[in-house]
Structures are given as structure tokens and as C-alpha cells.
Amino acid sequence: MFATIKQIFKPTNKDLRNRLLFTLGILFIFKIGTVIRIPGTENLTDNLGFLELINAMGGGALKQFSIFALGVMPYITASIIIELLSMDIIPYLSELNKQGYTGRQKKNQITRYIGIILAFAQGIAFSFAFLGSGTSVMEYLRVATIMTAGTAFLLWLGDQITQKGIGNGISLIIMAGILASIPTMFIDAFSELVKFTSAQSIFLGMISFLVFVAIYLLIVIGIIFVQEAERRLPIQYANRTTSSYGGQQTYMPLRLNSGGVIPVIFASSVIAIPATIAQFVKNDSFTLFVNKYLNYNTIPGFTLYILLILFFAYFYVFLQINPEQLSEDLQKNGGYIPGIKPGKETCKYIKQVLSRITVVGAIFLAVIAGLPIIFTNLSKLPSSITIGGTGLLIVVGVALETYKQLESSLVSRSYKKTNYHRKSRNA
């Protein structure tokens, strides 16, 4: 990693360095926007409950009711909806998947339009929920429009990063929002654990804080390990030998956590629906039912949350990876898994392997998502101090992908320079 950073700052990689600085500049603009409050509104100082995930992804923008309060979550929601509808539910979207780059561009445009519509709908909902019933209709529309414009501006900033910077812009904005709250969390943890009342309390507090940091780092290492883990199925092609490819074996990689963080977002959204309805209905009995059985901090609510994560982990992975399609593609290209008959047997084998590794991936997601809830309820620390969580999973995933892209770019440059020097010598 340090070698990669060192290469970026070489004089020959000036354009890559400029891309990195451009990305950091855009993220700085995003951070400034998270503290610019919508005129005429107050900070939401109370506990946000099920909206904490949106607040975390937006760098605390929702709690401050800033112009970026919605963040890019409407776009993420729209992306999930479009991906689900593309699974042979809407033929037009399925056809776009087969049209290559042009299809992806059209699909992305549709996703953005739906994202903006969802942003305005969410803006209206948040305006009603947090401004109160005594506000005028024009005030609701004004606040919703500002929040929608903030989301649209963030999508534009994300595009600028993708085109002129490094990495996926939308993902980096989400990561930046989550990272912004981590230093404050460690400061709060230090303040809560280390009490300067006596030498003994200082010593014990420092030990507790170091243990907290060590556990946090171990969780990060565990996430990296699971995110990078994959099951490689060996593939052999008819009329080809491994010797013809320099002795290299061809594999079909199946990730341990193929669904990423999407199952957790699905589960959070399902849990959030009754809580959202309760805020608008204002029915005491319904609100009591939601707080008692559908709240993360209750045993029934927590159990339901974990079960939903496990369910959506299976549901989304098998939507994303189609064993029948993989089997057909292998057979068309003359490929097969050694010891497994092509066709139905291969499809059955891929399903079995995918089911087994998804069990591990789903349990991993459930543990990471459930850790902060358990930690908050068992410890005496404030809810702002957590370990694990969806946010950490997103940060690690995006950081790994960005680093791989950066490393790939450096390797590509090195390869081009080597070929150029070889051609020069041959000439």
C-alpha cells in the first residue's frame, strides 16, 4: 500500500496525483455542504432511530437538517429498485442489460430520474415529520425542493469524481460521509472511558480505550478478510490445455459476500416502513406496537432484523448470480467444471456451492449489522459510540475497490512504459 502511495507522488504520475487531489477537493465541498443548514429549520438533536443509517451515510447531514440531508440514499434506493426490476420483471430493463455500454447509460439515466423523484417524496415526508403540522404547504414544498436540489448536486459531484477523479464518485461520497463521524466517535469514546479523577481511573480508562480501539481494528481486519474471500471453481475448456496459457488455471470466482451491504439496506428499509407510518398516523396503540416489537433495541425487533438480513442475503445473491445462466455460458464456450457434467449437473453444483458460501456471508453480515445494537445495549456508552455496523462495512468495501482501481492504473502505466521502451530498443 505504501509503495502505491509513493508511486502516485512520482513526477511521472502528475496527472494521477491531480486526479487524487481533485477527488479530495470534491469531498471537501461535500463536507462543507453537510453543515449548511436549510434556512428556517432547526437541528434535529433528538435520536433519529431508524434514520441513523441515512444520517451516518450523509456525514451527520440529516441530524443538522442541512442542504445535503437526504444524501445520495434516494439514488441508492432507485438503483436497487431498477436492479430488481431488471431481473426479467420489466422486459425493457432486461433488454438494456444486453445492450452493453449504451444500455448501461440509458439505465443509469432512468435510475437518476427515479432517484430525484424519490428524493422529492422523501423531502416532503421529512418536512412533515420534522417541521410539525403547523407549517404551511409552501414551507413544506420549499424545504423538500432544497433537499432534492442537494441530492441532485451530490449526484453531479459524484459524476465529476467518476470522470475526473479516482474511484466511483457516489460510493466515495457515501464513504466520506461515514468517515467524517469516526474521529468524533473516538474522541467521545476517550472522553467517556478515561476519567481524570485519579491515577487508577486514568490507567483503567486508558486500558479500556486501547481495548476498544483494538476490537475496532480487529473488526476492520475481519471485514477485509471476508470481503476479499472467494470460492474459486476450477474451469477447464475443451481443446485447451493449461500449458497453452503458461500453466495458469482458469477459475470461476464466487465471493463469500456477493451481496455486499445491500441485504442490510433492504432489511433496514423493511424495518423502517412501520416506524415511518407510525410518525404520520400518530396512533398511540400502533406506535406502542412498533416500539415494542419492531424496534432494533427490543429482542423481537432485533431478531426480526437479523432474520431479514439472512433472508435478503440469499434473495439478493441468487438474483444477482444466476447459476443457470452461468452453466449455459460455460457450455456455450466449451467450458466445464472438472468432475461435473455440463448442463443441469453444473447448474446444481454451482447452486450448492453458492448456497454454502452464502450461509457464511449472510451470518457475517448479520453479525456486523447486529454488533453496534448489542454493544449499545450492553455497554453504558452513548449510542454515538459503536463498533462494527453497516457504515464500517461500506467504508472498507469502497476503500478496497478504490485502492484496487488506483493500483490497476499504476500497473497499467508501468506496463505501457515497459512496452514503449521495448519497442524503442527494437527500432
| Angstrom distance (rounded) from CA 249 to CA 47 | 54
Amino acid 206: pLDDT: 92
Task: Kindly tell me the burial class for residue 132, based on how many C-beta atoms sit within 10 Å of its own C-beta (0-12, 13-18, 19 or more).
Answer: exposed
Compute the Cα dihedral for 276, 277, 281, 284 and give only its sign. Answer: negative
Which residues, including other chains, have CB under 8 Å from residue 85's CB and lie 6 or more apart? Answer: 93
The model carries a pTM of: 0.78
Amino acid 170: pLDDT: 86
Which residues, including other chains, have CB under 8 Å from residue 413's CB and lie 6 or more apart? Answer: 13, 16
Half-sphere exposure in the Cβ direction for 102 (13 Å, CA): 3
Which ranges of 58-136 would DSSP assign to H, the alpha helix? 73-85, 91-97, 100-131
All domains of the chain, ordered by start, with CATH? 15-180 (1.10.3370.10), 229-388 (1.10.3370.10)
Amino acid 16: pLDDT: 80
Cβ pair 177, 34 in contact under 8 A: yes
CA dihedral 192, 197, 198, 200 (to 10 degrees): -20
Amino acid 114: pLDDT: 92
- C-alpha cell, 166: 479516482
Amino acid 101: pLDDT: 77
Amino acid 427: pLDDT: 53
Amino acid 50: pLDDT: 55
- C-alpha cell, 160: 465529476
Walking along the chain (427 residues) 10 residues at a time, the average pLDDT comes out as 61 78 91 84 58 65 80 84 78 80 86 91 82 78 91 92 87 84 86 86 90 90 87 79 56 83 79 74 79 82 89 82 84 83 87 89 88 83 77 84 79 60 54
Amino acid 419: pLDDT: 55
Element (H, E) at 233: strand 230-237
Which residues, including other chains, have CB under 8 Å from residue 142's CB and lie 6 or more apart? Answer: none
Over the stretch 328-349, which tens digit does the pLDDT of each residue have? 888 888 888 888 888 888 888 8
